[in-house]
Structure 1
Amino acid sequence: MTSAQNSLEETVLQAIQGVVGFGCKEKPISLHEPDFNGTKAWEYIRDCLDSGWVSTAGRWVNRFEQELCTVTGAEHAVVVSNGTVALRLALHLVGVGPGDEVLLPPLSFVATANAVAHLGAVPHFVDIEPNALGMCPAALDARLDAIAIRHEGHVVNKESGRRIAAVLPVHVFGHPAEVSQLRAVCDAWGVPMVEDAAEALASWREGTHCGLFGAVGTLSFNGNKLITTGGGGALLTNNSGIAKRARHLSTTAKLPHPWAFDHDAVGWNDRLPNLNAALGVAQLEDLERRLEAKGQLVQQYKRAFASIEGIELVAEPEGCQSNHWLMSLRFTAENQSVAEAQRLKLLQDAHEAGVLVRPVWTALNKLPMYVDSPAGSLTVATDQAPRLINLPSSPQLLKEWHS
């Protein structure tokens, strides 16, 4: 590695530290941490404990769903125990089952593919676009043109013989994917679209919240998200039939009755506990402050990196409002191996300095359980994945947060 490359990583680390401060191994600066200061979390949790309503029923569950509808503009929200569960249920609701294929991008957290596999279906990978890193509409269109046929009312992969049951785009790092164009391709083929908006609470495109372009979308409230319930997830939809079925199946498909335990379908015990929902309500009340802090933090990163050649921030797409969940840096060297080496050196140096930057996930098509899954050309994803690094992005890193 050349001294010029060493200089780049050193310069980038100094710029990051100029924004978020200096950590150490004993007290590092983390990627994205929960924070309940300035909220009514203790009060709402105490209400659950005092009332005894701590499980999957209670007023905080209902209120959390109502507040999510208010924040996102969704007609219906159904909260469940985690984001993976939400994805699996959403895919099931649009008809994905054993032996089907679901088209999805390779650049995502493993839960996206796992939710498909949990239903006995097969992930089928489609390339991304290089800007916001979401599924590329042109790549989706080309892939369907190459391998899909209509047969007996279904869209079938003529190479595998499996039904193509859904398309599953992801809003990566909170940046909205090109979902309008993706939806147009899906509509042309008659394939339902389910959105993985796990990272995209409070992210919008064309005046519509992420998760509401397709039949159903999902959110995550994991501990590292903008809003956390410890675990937790939600389904968002404007389809009352999907919402009713989601609520029913996620509550063990139990038929309403004062005492009888009768069930009319194979369901899941997926509902979010009241305790967790109370945490979610407390943080949703603080959402605007968090978003404002995130916006200021990303502006500080932009200024810090503005004069450094060889890197760029992954930018908010034009015409969109991103929550900037994970602010991300891209090494732009023309030679990918050079960019990958620069990223590795920054990872090593930053972790040694107590700044816990993170590489992007290993591409799903490279994981052992999915390496043999069908895929189109993944040129962009293959090029981009080794270049990307996630930066500390907690809103409380903003120096004015506690003032």
Structure 2
Amino acid sequence: MPSNPAQAAPAIPLFEPEIAGNEWRYVKECLDTGWVSSVGPYVDRFEAAMAAQAGCRHAVATTSGTAALHVALLVAGVQPDDEVIVSGLTFVAPANAIKYVGAHPVFIDAEPEYWQMDVDLLERFVTTGCRVTGGQLRNVTTGRRVRAIVAVHVLGHPCDMDRITALARRHELAVIEDASESLGATYRGRPVGQLGDIACFSFNGSKIVTSGGGGMITTNHASWAGRAKHLTTQAKSDPIEYVHDDIGYNYRLTNVQAAIGLAQLERLPEFVARKRAIAAKYAAAALPGVRVQPEAPWAEATWWLCTVLINKDATGTDSRAVLARLAAAGVQARPLWHPVPGLAMYRDCQVLGGEVMERLYREALSLPSSTALQPAHQDRVIAALRDAVTANAANSR
């Protein structure tokens, strides 16, 4: 018999998809009808449902959230050697997508309260670090044209989009929402996906809605949606002949994936409610030296991954030690992303601020947040976290 009961219990994953709706029925229909590849009725239905969810007129399915970002930058008019302002606290995908189009990221630190793009730093860069030359906004330091802002809604919490879009309009910058982690979140009562010029979503296995892999673009610009559809289908310009008029991409979501995604999307309100209840329970535990990511008064977050700060001064231990203790107790957690400007391929890029994202990288841990997380399992997580943050104090007695 194992000496540690916690090790005998099944491990609690950070996230896992919940397949309990119409997924089996819709996929069987794809198999029964032969619509299994990159066209089919479920692609159309999924796009229409996502457009409705975002409150937009158009949606274009893609193979991933990264592909969606790549195409969004292209249809927004970003050119090689342009600069694109982007959140520094993020998964690496938006920075990589900027590089795909030959542009250069300018990183903006997170603000310390809600961990979203620091709009004060953004405004400082645009108003004092740039100037208008020949009708174009250019970076004073590099001389490059600044073309767009990619605002990442981090961990299911929206950025302060009214301030970002107002600044962008004054300086004729395109606004791209990276809503990969935030499907179902709202900003001042409006869903993410309609708050900028164009938005991108991800349906990776870890996301609140999954299609096993895939992404989506939403926009109210008909011409942008049309060009996005064109580029994601290899830029084929003739319905019969194999004639192409641009460098296109095989970024087409399959009908089988779209069927899974649609079935998941049908349960989005339920999934959001569960995520919010999970985050509320973590916050209510009020563990010493542990602080759950706050929610801004203008936001309703989905808490894609409920994330906490470990205060080393209060607990006598750091986040990596807590991470190891949780793993030993059968609880999967993970740190936040390494700040993208500190990665080897981005160290030469301009950064505004940086202290907040560095601190969050050192102190933050994401906790199990699956929609299927059972109350008893969450109780185990909380107990393991309590033991992990108090271990040093207990050992010193």
Q: Please give the TM-score of this superposition, normalised by the length of structure 2.
A: 0.90
The CA distance in 1 between the partners of 2:330 and 2:133, in whole Å, is: 56
Partner in structure 1 of residue 11 of structure 2: 28
Query: How do 1:361-376 residues align onto structure 2 when only pairs under 5 Å count?
Result: 361-376=337-352
Question: What RMSD in Å do the two structures reach over aligned CA positions?
Answer: 1.9
Kindly provide the amino acid, as one letter, of the partner of residue 227 in structure 2: R
Partner in structure 1 of residue 69 of structure 2: 87
Partner residue of 1:149 out of 131, 137, 141: 131
Contact 1:340 1:387 (8 Å CA) reproduced? no
Partner in structure 2 of residue 106 of structure 1: 88
Partner residue of 2:206 out of 224, 244, 265: 224
Partner in structure 2 of residue 14 of structure 1: none
SS in structure 2 at match of 1:123? strand
SS in structure 2 at match of 1:195? strand
The CA distance in 2 between the partners of 1:319 and 1:147, in whole Å, is: 29
The CA distance in 2 between the partners of 1:24 and 1:368, in whole Å, is: 38
The CA distance in 2 between the partners of 1:384 and 1:121, in whole Å, is: 27
The CA distance in 2 between the partners of 1:90 and 1:125, in whole Å, is: 18
Cα offset for 1:50?
A: 1.3
The CA distance in 2 between the partners of 1:25 and 1:157, in whole Å, is: 57
Partner in structure 2 of residue 6 of structure 1: none
The CA distance in 2 between the partners of 1:192 and 1:340, in whole Å, is: 45
Instruction: Identify unmatched segments of 5+ residues in structure 2.
Output: 378-397
Question: Can you list the C-alpha shifts for 1:74-125, whole angstroms capped at 9, x where unaligned?
Answer: 2111110000000010011111121111111211001111111111111111
SS in structure 1 at match of 2:346? coil
Question: In the superposition, relative to structure 1, how do residues 235 and 344 fare at CA in structure 2: closer, same or farther (>3 Å)?
Answer: same
Cα offset for 1:229?
A: 0.7
Partner residue of 2:279 out of 284, 287, 298: 298
Question: In the superposition, relative to structure 1, how do residues 88 and 24 fare at CA in structure 2: closer, same or farther (>3 Å)?
Answer: farther
Cα offset for 1:169?
A: 1.1
Alignment of 1:127 onto 2:106: no
The CA distance in 1 between the partners of 2:124 and 2:201, in whole Å, is: 29
The CA distance in 2 between the partners of 1:261 and 1:142, in whole Å, is: 49
Query: How do 1:201-212 residues align onto structure 2 when only pairs under 5 Å count?
Result: 201-212=183-194
Question: Can you list the C-alpha shifts for 1:194-245, whole angstroms capped at 9, x where unaligned?
Answer: 1111001000101221132211010000010000111100001111111111
Contact 1:175 1:316 (8 Å CA) reproduced? yes
Partner in structure 1 of residue 369 of structure 2: 393
Alignment of 1:327 onto 2:306: yes
The CA distance in 1 between the partners of 2:15 and 2:355, in whole Å, is: 30
Kindly provide the amino acid, as one letter, of the partner of residue 202 in structure 2: S
The range that moved more, 137-146 or 80-89, is: 137-146
Alignment of 1:266 onto 2:242: no
Question: Can you list the C-alpha shifts for 1:3-58, whole angstroms capped at 9, x where unaligned?
Answer: xxxxxxxxxxxxxxxxxxx8648842111111202x11111111111111111100
Contact 2:55 2:193 (8 Å CA) reproduced? no
Contact 1:24 1:355 (8 Å CA) reproduced? no
Contact 1:25 1:352 (8 Å CA) reproduced? no
Partner in structure 1 of residue 47 of structure 2: 65
Contact 1:310 1:331 (8 Å CA) reproduced? yes
Number of aligned residue pairs: give it: 373
Question: Can you list the C-alpha shifts for 1:268-304, whole angstroms capped at 9, x where unaligned?
Answer: 1111110100000111122222122222212211221
Cα offset for 1:389?
A: 0.8
Query: How do 1:307-326 residues align onto structure 2 when only pairs under 5 Å count?
Result: 308-326=287-305
Partner in structure 1 of residue 324 of structure 2: 348
The CA distance in 2 between the partners of 1:140 and 1:70, in whole Å, is: 31
Q: Please give the TM-score of this superposition, normalised by the length of structure 1.
A: 0.88
Cα offset for 1:332?
A: 3.8
Contact 1:86 1:234 (8 Å CA) reproduced? yes
The CA distance in 2 between the partners of 1:188 and 1:99, in whole Å, is: 22
Kindly provide the amino acid, as one letter, of the partner of residue 278 in structure 2: L
Partner in structure 2 of residue 138 of structure 1: 120
Kindly provide the amino acid, as one letter, of the partner of residue 262 in structure 1: V
Kindly provide the amino acid, as one letter, of the partner of residue 310 in structure 1: G
Question: Can you list the C-alpha shifts for 1:144-163, whole angstroms capped at 9, x where unaligned?
Answer: 22321111121111211211
The CA distance in 2 between the partners of 1:67 and 1:220, in whole Å, is: 15
Partner in structure 2 of residue 76 of structure 1: 58
Contact 2:78 2:103 (8 Å CA) reproduced? yes
Partner in structure 2 of residue 118 of structure 1: 100
Alignment of 1:180 onto 2:162: yes
Contact 2:288 2:315 (8 Å CA) reproduced? no
